[in-house]
Structure 1
Amino acid sequence: MAKKPRSAEQVRYHQLVSAREPRPPRLRNALMAFGVGGLVSVLGQALTDFYRLTLGLDKKAATGPAVVTLIFVAALLTGLGVFDRLAKYAGAGLAVPVTGFANSIAASALEFKREGLVQGVGSKMFMLAGSVITFGVVTAFVVALLATLIPG
């Protein structure tokens, strides 16, 4: 469907709004995302080292409990209403890693809890998770297939 042409008045209004619209602090947002994302990574590494040393796991086996801990903390902070306030300032640094995924699932569960455990929490929580998990499985399959078919 073709867009309807704008009138001169609509063009002037759009220019006026654009001129007065505040500009986002892009540099600050980028630095905050970089710094907070780095802190989340450092926390993940510290948890991996902690589980490796206390449980006697090798490095690869210790990453599982570390990721689960990050997911638990993000879900807990979401439930307490703290995660969104932190994400407001941290931006993508907190939203992109596994903590952001945990937040989106927990927030969906909390939003629909009035509809019951199965119809509300369960179905709405996995509505988002299902597509992400499916994408991950399909992507892993394609990468494994390419690694098998391409020598070297």
Structure 2
Amino acid sequence: MEEILAIKDQKKRNEAYNQYVENMTPKSNCFANCAKAFLVGGLICTLGEGLNSFYEYLGNEKELAALYGTITLIAISIILTGLNIYQKLAQFGGAGSIVPITGFANSVVSPAIEFQTEGEVFGVGCKIFTIAGPVILYGIVSSWFVGLIYWIMHM
């Protein structure tokens, strides 16, 4: 009998907790969030294309202009992260701010800035690789396996 009462009491607490979470969770508008993500991601991509065109206009080949455009986007992302502007952009644009190159640059620089007080080696040096390290390792290992498969298939 006590077990049944305990189970009913637990169910009541779970229901009360679920109701509390539902009341406290901010309501989101899916259409507005998608529109903001599209706007922010589109602006970042448009900026990238504008930079590519600018560097081509300066006389660089298409491939070199794309490289300069990518480097410029990374630098802009790092600067905006350091000035705490990229975080505000991410809060507004959500997934649109995670356009691959700028979002990755932000995710690499953010931990380094956050743990700057820990020192150059144990703060910046260690924390800068919390995101970049696994991504770089996965990229190297997976490219090695793909290269090995390609080599075996063409033997």
Superposition TM-score tier, normalisation by shorter sequence: 0.7 to 0.9
Name the aligned partner's letter for residue 126 of structure 2.
S
User: Contact 1:37 / 1:97 at 8 angstroms: preserved in 2?
Assistant: no
SS in 1 for 2:66: helix
Note if 1:100 corresponds to 2:103: yes
The alignment's TM-score, normalised by the length of structure 2, stands at 0.80
Residues 5, 80 of structure 1: alpha-carbon distance in 2 compared, 3 angstrom cutoff = farther
**Match among 100, 113, 117 for residue 114 of structure 1:** 117
More helix by share: 2
The equivalences for 1:136-147 within 5 A come to 136-146=139-149
Structure 1 residue 42: Cα displacement? 1.2
Q: Where does structure 1 lack aligned partners over 5 or more consecutive residues?
A: none
Among candidates 10, 14, 23, match of residue 11 of structure 1: 14
Alpha-carbon distance in structure 2 between the residues aligned to 1:24 and 1:149: 51
Alignment correspondent of 2:134: 131
Task: Say whether 1:90 aligns with 2:108.
Answer: no
1:98 & 1:69 partners in 2: Cα distance? 10
Partner of 2:52: 48
Query: Counterparts of 2:123 and 2:133 in 1: how far apart (Å)?
Result: 15
Q: What residue ranges of structure 2 are gaps of 5+ in the alignment? A: 1-6
CA RMSD of aligned residues (A): 2.5
The AA in structure 1 aligned to 2:85 is V
